[in-house]
Amino acid sequence: MNTAIPTDTDLARLVDVLLATAESAGHDRAGWERIAREAFAAERPEEQPDHWWLAVPGETYEAAFEALGLHDRIPVTVRYGQGAQGEDTKYVPEAVHRVFVTPEYAGWRLIYAEEPLGTTRWGLHEVIERLSKACGRAQVFYQDPFADAVIWAAAEDGEVVRGYWRHEDSEWTGTPLPWETVLTEADFADDPDEYEAYAEDPGRAETTAVNTAAAHLSVDPAAIDAGTPVRGHGWLALTRAGAGHDGFDEYPEL
Protein backbone atom coordinates (compact mmCIF):
# COMPACT_ATOMS: atom_id res chain seq x y z
CA MET A 1 0.00 0.00 0.00
CA ASN A 2 1.22 3.51 -0.71
CA THR A 3 0.36 7.00 0.42
CA ALA A 4 -1.91 9.24 -1.62
CA ILE A 5 -0.75 11.83 -4.13
CA PRO A 6 -1.84 15.32 -3.02
CA THR A 7 -4.41 17.33 -4.94
CA ASP A 8 -3.12 19.71 -7.58
CA THR A 9 -3.81 22.70 -5.31
CA ASP A 10 -1.93 21.19 -2.36
CA LEU A 11 0.89 19.99 -4.57
CA ALA A 12 1.30 23.52 -5.92
CA ARG A 13 1.90 24.80 -2.37
CA LEU A 14 4.65 22.22 -1.88
CA VAL A 15 6.26 23.19 -5.18
CA ASP A 16 6.21 26.86 -4.12
CA VAL A 17 8.29 25.90 -1.08
CA LEU A 18 10.66 23.72 -3.09
CA LEU A 19 11.26 26.55 -5.54
CA ALA A 20 12.02 28.94 -2.65
CA THR A 21 14.82 26.81 -1.20
CA ALA A 22 18.44 26.66 -2.31
CA GLU A 23 18.14 22.96 -3.03
CA SER A 24 15.63 23.70 -5.78
CA ALA A 25 18.32 25.10 -8.09
CA GLY A 26 18.19 23.46 -11.48
CA HIS A 27 14.50 22.48 -11.38
CA ASP A 28 11.58 24.51 -12.69
CA ARG A 29 7.97 24.16 -11.53
CA ALA A 30 7.14 21.35 -13.94
CA GLY A 31 10.26 19.47 -12.89
CA TRP A 32 9.42 19.72 -9.20
CA GLU A 33 5.83 18.66 -9.82
CA ARG A 34 7.07 15.53 -11.58
CA ILE A 35 9.61 14.76 -8.83
CA ALA A 36 7.00 15.26 -6.12
CA ARG A 37 4.40 13.05 -7.77
CA GLU A 38 6.97 10.29 -8.23
CA ALA A 39 8.09 10.57 -4.60
CA PHE A 40 4.55 10.28 -3.22
CA ALA A 41 3.73 7.41 -5.57
CA ALA A 42 6.80 5.46 -4.47
CA GLU A 43 6.23 5.90 -0.73
CA ARG A 44 5.32 2.85 1.35
CA PRO A 45 4.61 2.53 5.09
CA GLU A 46 7.76 1.97 7.13
CA GLU A 47 9.02 2.12 10.70
CA GLN A 48 8.73 5.57 12.28
CA PRO A 49 10.71 7.18 15.14
CA ASP A 50 9.54 6.22 18.64
CA HIS A 51 11.17 8.89 20.81
CA TRP A 52 8.56 11.70 21.06
CA TRP A 53 5.18 11.70 19.34
CA LEU A 54 1.46 12.40 19.61
CA ALA A 55 -1.35 10.29 18.14
CA VAL A 56 -4.87 11.26 17.06
CA PRO A 57 -7.57 9.34 15.15
CA GLY A 58 -7.32 9.52 11.39
CA GLU A 59 -11.01 10.31 11.06
CA THR A 60 -10.76 13.49 13.15
CA TYR A 61 -7.14 14.57 12.71
CA GLU A 62 -8.03 17.70 10.72
CA ALA A 63 -9.11 19.34 13.98
CA ALA A 64 -5.58 18.91 15.36
CA PHE A 65 -4.19 21.75 13.24
CA GLU A 66 -6.35 24.38 14.90
CA ALA A 67 -6.04 22.77 18.35
CA LEU A 68 -2.23 22.91 18.17
CA GLY A 69 -2.09 26.32 16.52
CA LEU A 70 -0.61 25.00 13.29
CA HIS A 71 -0.71 26.99 10.06
CA ASP A 72 0.26 27.06 6.38
CA ARG A 73 0.47 23.31 5.94
CA ILE A 74 1.97 21.73 2.86
CA PRO A 75 1.82 18.08 1.76
CA VAL A 76 5.10 16.24 2.26
CA THR A 77 6.49 12.76 1.99
CA VAL A 78 7.36 10.97 5.21
CA ARG A 79 11.03 11.25 4.32
CA TYR A 80 10.72 15.02 4.03
CA GLY A 81 8.54 15.42 7.12
CA GLN A 82 10.76 13.37 9.40
CA GLY A 83 13.87 15.00 7.97
CA ALA A 84 12.46 18.42 8.80
CA GLN A 85 12.39 17.45 12.48
CA GLY A 86 16.18 17.52 12.59
CA GLU A 87 16.19 21.30 12.13
CA ASP A 88 12.65 22.24 13.08
CA THR A 89 13.15 25.78 14.42
CA LYS A 90 13.86 29.21 12.97
CA TYR A 91 13.52 32.71 14.45
CA VAL A 92 11.67 35.65 12.85
CA PRO A 93 12.65 36.81 15.57
CA GLU A 94 10.10 34.70 17.48
CA ALA A 95 10.62 30.94 17.37
CA VAL A 96 8.78 29.13 14.58
CA HIS A 97 8.64 25.33 14.57
CA ARG A 98 7.93 22.80 11.82
CA VAL A 99 5.47 20.08 12.88
CA PHE A 100 5.02 16.88 10.90
CA VAL A 101 1.74 14.97 10.69
CA THR A 102 2.13 11.52 9.16
CA PRO A 103 -0.21 9.75 6.78
CA GLU A 104 -2.88 7.71 8.52
CA TYR A 105 -1.44 4.41 9.73
CA ALA A 106 -3.92 1.73 10.86
CA GLY A 107 -6.47 4.44 11.62
CA TRP A 108 -4.14 6.88 13.40
CA ARG A 109 -2.14 9.98 12.50
CA LEU A 110 1.15 10.50 14.35
CA ILE A 111 2.37 14.02 15.09
CA TYR A 112 6.06 14.80 15.46
CA ALA A 113 7.05 18.13 17.03
CA GLU A 114 10.61 17.74 18.29
CA GLU A 115 11.18 21.17 19.83
CA PRO A 116 7.70 21.89 21.27
CA LEU A 117 7.46 18.41 22.82
CA GLY A 118 11.12 17.99 23.73
CA THR A 119 11.24 21.22 25.70
CA THR A 120 7.74 20.50 27.07
CA ARG A 121 6.72 23.87 25.67
CA TRP A 122 3.57 21.94 24.97
CA GLY A 123 2.59 20.63 28.45
CA LEU A 124 2.19 16.90 27.90
CA HIS A 125 -1.12 16.29 29.65
CA GLU A 126 -2.42 19.70 28.66
CA VAL A 127 -1.68 19.16 24.98
CA ILE A 128 -3.50 15.83 24.74
CA GLU A 129 -6.44 17.20 26.72
CA ARG A 130 -6.67 20.03 24.19
CA LEU A 131 -6.24 17.64 21.28
CA SER A 132 -8.81 15.17 22.58
CA LYS A 133 -11.37 17.95 22.96
CA ALA A 134 -10.98 18.58 19.24
CA CYS A 135 -10.31 15.05 17.98
CA GLY A 136 -12.14 12.89 20.54
CA ARG A 137 -9.01 10.96 21.54
CA ALA A 138 -5.31 11.81 21.76
CA GLN A 139 -2.15 10.33 23.21
CA VAL A 140 1.43 11.37 23.95
CA PHE A 141 4.46 9.09 24.10
CA TYR A 142 8.09 9.59 25.10
CA GLN A 143 11.00 7.35 25.93
CA ASP A 144 14.69 7.86 26.60
CA PRO A 145 16.40 4.55 27.40
CA PHE A 146 19.64 6.31 28.36
CA ALA A 147 17.89 8.31 31.10
CA ASP A 148 15.43 5.51 31.94
CA ALA A 149 12.62 7.98 31.32
CA VAL A 150 9.19 6.96 30.06
CA ILE A 151 5.95 8.87 29.53
CA TRP A 152 2.72 7.76 27.95
CA ALA A 153 -0.77 9.12 28.46
CA ALA A 154 -4.18 8.89 26.81
CA ALA A 155 -6.97 11.46 26.85
CA GLU A 156 -10.58 11.28 25.76
CA ASP A 157 -12.95 14.20 25.26
CA GLY A 158 -10.67 16.65 27.03
CA GLU A 159 -9.59 14.56 30.01
CA VAL A 160 -6.58 12.33 30.65
CA VAL A 161 -7.97 8.88 31.43
CA ARG A 162 -4.74 6.93 31.81
CA GLY A 163 -1.07 7.70 32.00
CA TYR A 164 2.33 6.56 33.21
CA TRP A 165 5.41 8.60 34.05
CA ARG A 166 8.82 7.29 35.10
CA HIS A 167 12.00 9.16 35.85
CA GLU A 168 13.60 7.48 38.87
CA ASP A 169 10.17 7.11 40.52
CA SER A 170 6.98 5.91 38.84
CA GLU A 171 3.64 7.70 38.76
CA TRP A 172 0.30 6.59 37.36
CA THR A 173 -2.77 8.54 36.31
CA GLY A 174 -6.16 6.84 36.25
CA THR A 175 -6.79 3.12 36.70
CA PRO A 176 -5.36 0.21 34.69
CA LEU A 177 -6.85 -0.56 31.30
CA PRO A 178 -7.87 -4.14 30.37
CA TRP A 179 -4.63 -4.82 28.46
CA GLU A 180 -2.41 -3.85 31.39
CA THR A 181 -0.98 -6.48 33.75
CA VAL A 182 -1.87 -5.93 37.40
CA LEU A 183 -0.53 -8.10 40.20
CA THR A 184 -3.03 -9.65 42.61
CA GLU A 185 -2.84 -10.82 46.20
CA ALA A 186 -2.01 -14.31 44.93
CA ASP A 187 1.24 -12.98 43.48
CA PHE A 188 2.33 -12.00 47.00
CA ALA A 189 1.41 -15.21 48.79
CA ASP A 190 4.78 -15.28 50.52
CA ASP A 191 4.63 -11.65 51.63
CA PRO A 192 1.12 -10.25 52.32
CA ASP A 193 2.57 -7.01 53.71
CA GLU A 194 4.25 -6.30 50.40
CA TYR A 195 0.92 -6.72 48.63
CA GLU A 196 -0.69 -4.15 50.96
CA ALA A 197 2.00 -1.64 50.01
CA TYR A 198 1.57 -2.51 46.33
CA ALA A 199 -2.22 -2.12 46.47
CA GLU A 200 -2.06 1.32 48.08
CA ASP A 201 -1.88 2.85 44.59
CA PRO A 202 -4.98 1.74 42.61
CA GLY A 203 -3.39 2.98 39.40
CA ARG A 204 -0.32 0.79 39.63
CA ALA A 205 0.32 -1.78 36.89
CA GLU A 206 3.22 -3.77 35.51
CA THR A 207 2.69 -2.81 31.87
CA THR A 208 4.83 0.31 31.46
CA ALA A 209 6.66 0.05 28.11
CA VAL A 210 5.93 2.88 25.68
CA ASN A 211 5.74 0.70 22.56
CA THR A 212 3.38 -1.74 24.29
CA ALA A 213 1.12 1.11 25.35
CA ALA A 214 1.19 2.62 21.86
CA ALA A 215 0.30 -0.71 20.25
CA HIS A 216 -2.79 -1.03 22.46
CA LEU A 217 -3.86 2.62 22.48
CA SER A 218 -3.24 3.49 18.81
CA VAL A 219 -0.28 2.30 16.73
CA ASP A 220 3.35 1.52 17.58
CA PRO A 221 5.58 3.54 15.22
CA ALA A 222 8.35 0.95 15.48
CA ALA A 223 5.98 -1.76 14.20
CA ILE A 224 4.81 0.09 11.08
CA ASP A 225 5.82 -1.76 7.94
CA ALA A 226 4.78 -2.32 4.34
CA GLY A 227 1.73 -4.28 5.48
CA THR A 228 0.33 -1.50 7.68
CA PRO A 229 -2.89 0.03 6.28
CA VAL A 230 -2.19 3.59 5.13
CA ARG A 231 -4.39 6.43 3.94
CA GLY A 232 -3.67 9.98 2.81
CA HIS A 233 -0.28 11.65 2.89
CA GLY A 234 1.81 13.58 5.37
CA TRP A 235 1.64 17.30 6.17
CA LEU A 236 4.21 19.81 7.39
CA ALA A 237 2.81 22.82 9.24
CA LEU A 238 4.18 25.85 11.08
CA THR A 239 3.52 27.10 14.59
CA ARG A 240 3.20 30.70 13.38
CA ALA A 241 0.92 31.85 10.55
CA GLY A 242 2.61 33.59 7.63
CA ALA A 243 6.14 32.80 8.84
CA GLY A 244 6.95 30.95 5.62
CA HIS A 245 8.55 27.57 5.07
CA ASP A 246 11.79 29.17 3.93
CA GLY A 247 14.63 30.21 6.25
CA PHE A 248 15.21 26.91 8.06
CA ASP A 249 18.75 25.57 8.25
CA GLU A 250 18.06 22.32 6.42
CA TYR A 251 15.66 21.05 3.77
CA PRO A 252 15.37 17.26 3.34
CA GLU A 253 14.98 15.44 0.07
CA LEU A 254 11.52 14.35 -0.99
In a domain? residue 41: no
| Structure confidence at residue 142 (pLDDT) | 95
Is there a domain that residue 25 lies in? no
Cα separation, 149 vs 133, in Å, equals: 27
Q: Is residue 223 part of a domain?
A: yes
Is 118 a domain residue?
Answer: yes
Q: What are phi and psi of 157, to 5 degrees?
A: 50, 40
Domain of residue 128 covers: 48-177+203-238
pLDDT for 155: 98
pLDDT of residue 22: 60
Model confidence, pTM: 0.94
In a domain, 252, yes or no: no
Q: Please give the backbone phi and psi of residue 54, each rounded to the nearest 5 degrees, phi first.
A: -115, 160
Identify whether the C-beta of residue 114 lies closer than 8 Å to the C-beta of residue 138. Answer: no
Residue 18 lies in a domain: no
* Omega before residue 93 within 30° of 0, cis: yes
pLDDT of res. 201: 78
**Tally of domains in the chain:** 1
What pLDDT, on the 0 to 100 scale, is given for residue 5? Answer: 94
Q: CA 110 to CA 63: how far, in whole Å?
A: 14
* Closest C-alpha to 1, from 43, 57, 48, 58: 43
* CA distances in angstroms from 148 to 53, 104, 144, 213, 215, listed in the order given: 17, 30, 6, 16, 20
Residue-by-residue DSSP string for 125-186? HHHHHHHHHHHSEEEEEEEETTTTEEEEEEEETTEEEEEEEEESEEEEEE---TTS----GG
Residue 34 lies in a domain: no
Per-residue pLDDT of the chain (254 residues; tens, 9 = 90+): 778 999 999 999 999 999 988 665 678 999 999 999 999 999 999 999 999 999 999 999 999 999 999 999 999 999 999 999 999 999 999 999 999 999 999 999 999 999 888 776 668 899 999 999 999 999 999 998 787 889 999 999 999 999 999 988 899 999 999 999 988 767 777 777 777 777 777 888 989 999 999 999 999 999 999 999 999 999 999 999 999 999 999 999 98
The Cα–Cα gap between 5 and 11 comes to 8
Q: Which residues contact 234 (CB under 8 A, 6 or more apart)?
A: 3, 75, 76, 77, 78, 80, 81, 100, 101, 102, 103
Residue 184 inside a domain? The answer is no
Q: Do 140 and 127 touch, CB atoms closer than 8 A?
A: yes
